[in-house]
Structure 1
Amino acid sequence: MSSSTFSLASKVKLYNGHMIPQIQLGLYMMSGKEVLASVPWALAAGYRGFDSAQMYHNEAEAGQAIRKWLESSETRRARTSRGRTSGIRRSSPVPGSTSYDAVRKSIKRSVKACGLGYIDLFLLHSPYGGPEARLTSWKAIEDAIDDGEVRSGGVSNYGIEELMASNPRIKPAVNQIEVHPFNTQTAIRETCAKHGILVEAYGPLARAMRMKDPTILELAKKYACTPAQLMVRWSLQHGHVPLPKSARKERLIDNVKVGGFEISDEDVQRMDGLDEHLVTDWDPTDAD
């Protein structure tokens, strides 16, 4: 386990050399109004990674909030010649499709919606549609990278072996899956590690469904932290990129104050042992 002191400034390198923030704000189930408020709060607090998606219907608001923040007088001097700070990263999952053209158009739509010129990390959101659809959709991601619309590509909710067996021209840099102590996804994580694919952990707080678990409460007391901080720290010590979500200013700041303690190897293993395959949103494992 890592002994690193994690903060919102922590970054991790993808296999292709691009760096991404190791803690990012998830924008899942946030309204456009909530995003317009939460993203500036997060930027001011030090967040530099934001996870949106077409299905969230808030990409435009996320891009608008980032652009407005970049144009503010307090950040003007940090802008690059391309008109954005080099430290801000955005990811955006797009649904897969049986049509290559449909996926390419979908990618262009997201790039246009965010208004930032390109997207740092673009993911295929789900594995549904069958093998041909998955591989066709991935080719669209590869071509979007070649065309400069996307810097890195990845998948979400994938088992990954099928895609890697196809010998892709550009391999995925990230697999975004639900991971937390109550759904550890060990087999998928091990496969990703074998291929050098980073795991982004959505739902790292288990949607607050296990905050009163006795082991979580005991360890939070031991490390003088909140249950949310404990779960984020667990994710980081496993090498994941957690995407904690909150639309409340004080909570999105508090959740990521995880630099002042380190969970011991023994206690990490205790948390690993809480696994009950808890699926808090949807389970893609039945995809054909």
Structure 2
Amino acid sequence: MNRLLCIIPTISLLNANPESKEITTEDKAPKGMVWIEGASYTRGTKENPNIPFNDEERPVHKVTVSGFYLDEHEVTNAQFRDFVDATDYKTQAERGWSKKDFPKAPPEALKPGGIVFSGPSKAVELRGQGAEWQWWQFKEGASWKHPSGPKSNLDGMENYPVVCVTWEDANAYCKWAGKRLPTEAEWELAARGGNEGLDYIWGNSPKPGKKWLANVFTGEFPHNDTGEDGFKGTAPIKSFPPNGFGLYDMAGEAL
């Protein structure tokens, strides 16, 4: 399955409170969550010269996943704000970064801040070690509250997916919400929406019927996003149709 280019990582959650003895079933779905039936599926893709960036998708192999619940959409800025307001939590980007964890990072990259997409002015080589730093840059003061840098804010973005969060931040949110992060195998099963052997989660065409079905980088990556899908950058949740399981934004957007 080919994964379209996304913007910045964010959070999707499973219902999994280890302290609860209650067994939830498909007929008793938690609010805002979708039951994903357990299944076996073929994970990975065969080598295809027409699909870039798929080296990490091999070898093709069979995996089996038990049933689980998954949030029907990404965690929004409003939901993450509720967590922060309730706990006074500070994200990694707000606290700054450790020299111990990033020994090769220059001092300026250890200050509070985050990685922000910054498209170059012209076409660049997409492959090779460190190539991604041609379109990502560390910006001091960037955080979930200031996703594009210290002068940006969340005005009008309550229903956009939260960004500039690390695994540690996402895990803290999960514990507060009584849930957990999905495994990669669980997430991929959910993303497929019941389909098997397709290039994309909806079929084999990136733009069926000349209509974009996900928020992706349109144009020539990484220097020319045309916004043909209706958005430059992230989009409000549920801006595009759900997959076969009723889950939104399982391709593109902020994954």
Under TM normalisation by the shorter chain, which class is it? under 0.3
Q: Specify which structure has the higher proportion of helix.
A: 1
TM-score normalised by structure 1 residue count: 0.24
TM-score normalised by structure 2 residue count: 0.26
Between 1 and 2, higher relative CO (CA 8 Å, sep ≥ 6) is seen in 2
